[in-house]
């Protein structure tokens, strides 16, 4: 196996990973060696799909906005589960990030005087979402990717699938990755590592996320003994296209769109009379499902899916084309509906994972005891810092990716500058050899797998969709846990049909599903234990928030092959929990 040495290795090339790489390179003034490993071509990362925008307080004097207001909106949106020191850091650094992205080349949509334009977004009391038409994530991605190319010592390893994170004695050592093109395994020994592997919508059947958002890294982290935080909080976006799940951005409602049921009623007036269509996502998603369950929805003839309608007709052609052209394009292309003439069929779909790898305020990865796993950081959707708590506000994620990309990139660079060249010792070699054995002998060359990878994946997705959805109940969650456990056992003999080396996607798919099966257990266990309703986690058998018992973060971790739960307090600085009304 080929061995490489780097100062910093970054897993993931979404906005968080690329921003981290850029900051690490700049902090080291181009002298640090940095590897970006990504299982797709770097530019294909899921972040390109982000449409609506990035939150930041840019011109407080002109708009009456303030950092405190942005922080308060975020904390309230999180149903008071966010760590408030982290939220304060987010809102303080987000404006710097928007301006840096401008200097790097993002084509922000502008006001006539050259200022950056901002639009309203759900749960934000003042328009503070900056955007580049409705392809904000794409433009930030291409700008970051392009600017990373200015540094010769940043090496991008496209299509390198990380199969293992090597941690020894509480310290990060490196990673092992499968080069999809050649089928070779490669070991990367590094002084510092940043995990930026994104979310995992594909745990579910219907999601707005890309096919590559599978989240095996969550499972791989569990295997190394790392805890996952708050995994039960899964965000459903209210408006995904039926039946594909392709996102219709919240920008559509930010620009003035209405949600209506089969009777043509703007039903949000019964659920959130003040904020209406711009209430937070958890509230709107529950409202839509309630409308459908109570018979006021519509049914898509082809898929049988229930849905409601998003009406944009009154916005007029000019606004549609200038502010949300991609939404119009997607609706026409994928469901044959021109939003100028007809309302769009939409329903909730999984959109964002609030939980993730447990870190401190600065993105340092922590063990269950709260000790830093030296040399290791996590940033972006894969991490739980936590700024989103029980429910993320739209446009806060791109800010989070940029802010923690920058912080972890800078920290990792400084940390590695203080260390001598890493050595490849016996124990690292051993770890790498064991991984080689697991993949080549255990999977690629082993005979006798029986069940199809795709069958296992479909069953997992069905269980999650049907039992761990928007409305949850203790008995359903218990059932889901039992079914997933059985599936986990069955999946030990998944069948590999492709035994070739070059671009073996079947092997990649197997490794993904194998990691996901561990990750979903953390979602279900956390949801089962949390006997309250908060943000995106709604229990029909415990429909109230319960601060006395549950104002705390869940940690799920593996001990001796089984999943255990522990809890840590929420950090509160300025805002005491209050009733959440919109």
Ligand X SMILES: Cc1cc2nc3c(=O)[nH]c(=O)nc-3n(C[C@H](O)[C@H](O)[C@H](O)COP(=O)(O)OP(=O)(O)OC[C@H]3O[C@@H](n4cnc5c(N)ncnc54)[C@H](O)[C@@H]3O)c2cc1C
In the chain the first and final C-alpha atoms are separated, in Å, by: 57
Question: Min. distance of Cβ 525 from other proteins in angstroms?
Answer: 29
Task: Verify whether residue 237 is a known catalytic residue.
Answer: yes
Residue closer to other proteins by CB (options 96, 578) is 96
**Residues of this chain, 203-222, that bind ligand X according to CB under 6 A:** 208-209, 212-213, 216-217
Question: Min. distance of Cβ 40 from other proteins in angstroms?
Answer: 6
Task: At 375, list the tokens.
Answer: 């040399």
Question: Min. distance of Cβ 71 from other proteins in angstroms?
Answer: 22
Q: Compute the half-sphere exposure of residue 362: CA atoms within 13 Å on the CB side of its CA.
A: 10
What region does 266 belong to: left with phi over 0, alpha with psi -120 to 50, or beta? beta
Question: Min. distance of Cβ 569 from ligand X in angstroms?
Answer: 26
Residue closer to ligand X by CB (options 210, 309) is 210
90 binds ligand X (CB under 6 A): no
Q: Provide the b/e sequence for 234-265 (b: ≥16 CB within 10 Å).
A: bbbbbbbbbbebbbbbbbbbbbebbbbbeeee
Interacting residue with ligand X among 23, 25, 52, 412 (CB under 6 A): 52
Q: What are the residue ranges of helices labelled H in 105-229? A: 136-148, 216-223
Residue closer to ligand X by CB (options 322, 541) is 322
Interacting residue with ligand X among 7, 51, 179, 509 (CB under 6 A): 51
Question: Min. distance of Cβ 66 from other proteins in angstroms?
Answer: 19
Task: At 85, list the tokens.
Answer: 């020191």
Active-site entry in 119, 186, 205, 253:
253
Binding residues for other proteins, rule: CB under 8 A, are 26, 40-41, 43-46, 48-49, 96, 98-100, 102-105, 107-116, 135, 138-139, 142, 146-147, 149-150, 158, 181, 210-212, 244, 246-247, 302-303, 326, 330, 333-336, 452-454, 497-498, 500, 502-506, 509
Q: How far is CA 10 from CA 22, 377, 414, 463, in A?
A: 11, 9, 15, 33
Distance CA 270, CA 248 (A): 23
Binding part of the chain for ligand X, among 22-30, 42-50, 534-542, 566-574 by CB under 6 A, reads 42-50
Which of 22, 24, 25, 99 lies closest to 56 in space, CA to CA? Answer: 99
Question: Min. distance of Cβ 242 from other proteins in angstroms?
Answer: 11
Residue closer to other proteins by CB (options 247, 284) is 247
Task: Verify whether residue 553 is a known catalytic residue.
Answer: no
* Among other proteins, ligand X, none, residue 109 binds (CB under 5-8 Å by kind): other proteins
Main-chain dihedrals φ then ψ at residue 2, nearest 5 degrees: -75, 140
Binding part of the chain for ligand X, among 48-56, 58-66, 258-266, 304-312 by CB under 6 A, reads 48-56
* Among other proteins, ligand X, none, residue 172 binds (CB under 5-8 Å by kind): none
- Burial zone of 332 (CB within 10 Å; 0-12 exposed, 13-18 middle, 19+ buried): middle
Which of 482, 518, 253 lies closest to 474 in space, CA to CA? Answer: 482
Active-site entry in 237, 275, 358, 364:
237
String of contacts with ligand X for each residue 350-369, x by CB under 6 A: -xx-----------------
Which of 81, 70, 44 lies closest to 389 in space, CA to CA? Answer: 81
Question: Min. distance of Cβ 363 from other proteins in angstroms?
Answer: 20
Task: At 192, list the tokens.
Answer: 């510092």
Question: Min. distance of Cβ 236 from ligand X in angstroms?
Answer: 11
Task: At 65, list the tokens.
Answer: 């906005």
* Among ligand X, other proteins, none, residue 11 binds (CB under 5-8 Å by kind): ligand X
Of all helices (H) and strands (E), which one includes residue 194? strand 184-195
Q: Taking the mean position of all CA atoms in its chain, how far away is CA 403?
A: 15
Residues in the chain: 582
**Residues of this chain, 4-23, that bind ligand X according to CB under 6 A:** 11-17
458: how many CB neighbours lie within 10 A of its CB?
13
The answer to whether 77 and 282 have CB atoms below 8 angstroms apart is no
Residue closer to other proteins by CB (options 406, 467) is 406
Residue closer to other proteins by CB (options 171, 497) is 497
**Chain contacts with ligand X (rule: CB under 6 A):** 11-17, 37-40, 45-47, 49-54, 136-137, 161-162, 196-199, 208-209, 212-213, 216-217, 247, 249, 351-352, 380-382, 394-398, 401
Residues designated catalytic: 237, 253
């Amino acid at each position: 196996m080929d061995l490489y040495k780097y100062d910093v290795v970054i897993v993931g090339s979404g906005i968080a990973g690329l921003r981290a790489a850029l900051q690490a390179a700049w902090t080291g003034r181009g002298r640090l060696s940095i590897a970006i490993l990504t299982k797709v071509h770097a530019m294909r990362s899921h972040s390109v799909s982000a449409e609506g925008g990035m939150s930041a307080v840019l011109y407080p004097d002109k708009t009456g906005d303030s950092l405190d207001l942005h922080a308060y909106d975020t904390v309230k949106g999180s149903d008071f589960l966010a760590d408030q020191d982290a939220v304060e850091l987010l809102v303080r650094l987000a404006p710097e990030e928007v301006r840096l992205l401008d200097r790097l080349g993002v084509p922000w949509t502008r006001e006539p005087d050259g200022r950056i334009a901002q639009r309203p977004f759900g749960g934000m009391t003042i328009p503070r979402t900056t955007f580049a038409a409705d392809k904000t994530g794409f433009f930030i991605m291409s700008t970051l990717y392009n600017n990373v190319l200015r540094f010769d010592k940043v090496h991008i390893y496209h299509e390198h699938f990380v199969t293992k994170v090597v941690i020894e004695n509480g310290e990060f050592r490196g990673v092992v990755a499968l080069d999809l093109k050649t089928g070779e395994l490669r070991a990367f020994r590094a002084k510092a590592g940043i995990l930026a592997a994104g979310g995992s919508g594909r745990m579910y059947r219907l999601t707005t996320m890309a096919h590559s958002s599978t989240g095996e890294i969550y499972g791989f982290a569990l295997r190394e003994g790392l805890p996952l935080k708050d995994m039960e909080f899964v965000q459903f976006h209210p408006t995904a296209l039926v039946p594909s799940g392709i996102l219709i951005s919240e920008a559509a409602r930010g620009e003035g769109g209405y949600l209506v049921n089969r009777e043509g009623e703007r039903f949000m007036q019964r659920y959130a009379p003040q904020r209406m269509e711009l209430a937070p996502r958890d509230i709107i998603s529950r409202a839509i499902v309630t409308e459908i369950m109570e018979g006021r929805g519509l049914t898509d003839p082809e898929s049988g899916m229930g849905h409601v309608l998003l009406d944009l007709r009154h916005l007029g052609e000019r606004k549609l084309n200038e502010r949300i052209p991609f939404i119009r394009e997607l609706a026409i292309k994928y469901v044959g509906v021109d939003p100028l003439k007809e309302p769009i069929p939409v329903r909730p779909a999984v959109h964002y994972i609030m939980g993730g790898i447990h870190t401190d305020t600065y993105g340092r990865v922590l063990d269950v005891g709260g000790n830093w796993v030296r040399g290791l950081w996590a940033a972006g959707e894969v991490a739980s810092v936590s700024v989103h708590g029980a429910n993320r506000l739209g446009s806060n994620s791109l800010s989070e990716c940029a802010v923690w990309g920058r912080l972890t990139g800078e920290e990792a660079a400084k940390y590695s500058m203080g260390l001598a060249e890493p050595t490849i010792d016996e124990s690292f070699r051993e770890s790498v050899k064991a991984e080689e054995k697991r993949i080549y002998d255990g999977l690629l060359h082993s005979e006798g797998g029986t069940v199809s990878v795709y069958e296992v994946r479909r069953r997992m997705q069905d269980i999650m969709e049907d039992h761990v959805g928007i409305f949850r109940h203790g008995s359903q969650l218990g059932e889901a846990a039992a079914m997933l456990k059985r599936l986990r056992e069955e999946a030990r003999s998944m069948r590999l049909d492709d035994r070739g080396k070059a671009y073996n996607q079947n092997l990649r798919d197997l490794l993904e599903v194998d990691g996901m099966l561990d990750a979903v257990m953390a979602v279900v266990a956390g949801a089962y234990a949390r006997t309250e309703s908060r943000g995106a986690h709604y229990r029909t058998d415990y429909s109230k928030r319960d601060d006395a018992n549950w104002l705390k973060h869940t940690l799920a971790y593996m001990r001796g092959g089984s999943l255990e739960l522990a809890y840590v307090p929420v950090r509160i600085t300025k805002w005491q929990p209050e009733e959440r009304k919109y």
